[in-house]
Amino acid sequence: MTARLLSGKPIADRVAARSKERNEALKRRGITPRLAIISVGTDPAASSYAGRLIKGAKGMGIEVADVTMPREITEQELRDRLDAVSRDRTVHGMLLLTPLPGALDELHVVDHITVEKDVEGMNPFSMGLLVDGRPKFIPSTAEAIVEMLRYYDIPLRGAHTVILGRSTVIGRPVASLLLEEDATITITHSRTVGLESLTRGADVVVVGVGKAGLIRGEMLKPGAVVIDAGINVTPTGIVGDVDTESVSAVASALSPVPGGVGAVTTALLLRNVITATEEQT
């Protein structure tokens, strides 16, 4: 078997085309959406994500305010800055780039991203709405993963889905979204015992860990669908968490890295900026 490649491009293009139309309607009312990207220090992966967002925003007519803070700032200073951006009426969406450097704890600062502008669904209130089955803004990587499964008509009702990773940006929100699709979910993490026996029973495997080559073909049931959200920078370029060669020989479908989840993620985040702008104006 050679796995079908699930490209993110047609989904990203469709989302972007619809966002452009909605943005044109805003423009006719004299409104320009504005996204504040808040970063602390310079993490290379976060900077490259910010670069892709800025490029995508430009193409869509969304303004970006770059709020860069030095890595030496205190947690209180960061909270104060997030409060200030939350109050700034010229900003419609805000995104805090992670990981945060040093002793700054993401869990203690995201409460200061106001829910109306929380386009990446980082505030615990946004997460609570998602878990409650009435989402407002959803972490964009998680939504991208589920959009890919929907777009390619992967059967989800009753499907046993194993998720690798339990972070608030991938594992947890993906589990909430797939429960709404009537999938049966197993969430795994670094302390999981017997990972392979779990993945071998899965119809769908979603991996977002950050370890190149973690999923190999022999860990899968023949015909399984694999969505790879991992991003690993290697000397030969960017790769996901999947050993592509062995997985392609066993899986029926696989999302590539690059060219899979990442492109959809950016498009959905920018769409959320448009939604936030519509709601605030």
Which parts of this chain interact with ligand NAP (CB under 6 A)?
45, 141, 164-167, 169-171, 188-192, 195, 208-210, 214, 229-232, 261-262, 265
Cβ-based nearer residue to ligand NAP, 32 or 192: 192
Cβ-based nearer residue to ligand NAP, 19 or 266: 266
DSSP run (H or E) holding 154: none
Question: Which among 110, 215, 239 has a CA at the least distance from the CA of 167?
Answer: 110
Supply the minimum distance, in Å, between the C-beta of residue 198 and ligand NAP. Answer: 10
Supply the minimum distance, in Å, between the C-beta of residue 89 and ligand NAP. Answer: 29
C-alpha–C-alpha distance, residues 142 and 175, integer Å: 9
C-alpha–C-alpha distance, residues 60 and 234, integer Å: 31
Question: Which among 242, 196, 197, 203 has a CA at the least distance from the CA of 222?
Answer: 203
Contact residues for 215 (Cβ-Cβ < 8 A; gap 6+) = 164, 199, 205, 207, 226, 228, 241, 242, 243, 247
Supply the minimum distance, in Å, between the C-beta of residue 61 and ligand NAP. Answer: 22
Tokens representing 258?
């690059």
Contact residues for 134 (Cβ-Cβ < 8 A; gap 6+) = none
Cβ-based nearer residue to ligand NAP, 33 or 256: 256
Supply the minimum distance, in Å, between the C-beta of residue 131 and ligand NAP. Answer: 17
Cβ-based nearer residue to ligand NAP, 167 or 280: 167
Supply the minimum distance, in Å, between the C-beta of residue 181 and ligand NAP. Answer: 20
Helix axis angle, 44-60 to 261-280, nearest 10° = 60
Cβ-based nearer residue to ligand NAP, 134 or 193: 193
Q: Which residues pair with 187 in a beta bridge?
A: 163
Supply the minimum distance, in Å, between the C-beta of residue 108 and ligand NAP. Answer: 16
C-alpha–C-alpha distance, residues 72 and 187, integer Å: 36
Cβ-based nearer residue to ligand NAP, 26 or 175: 175
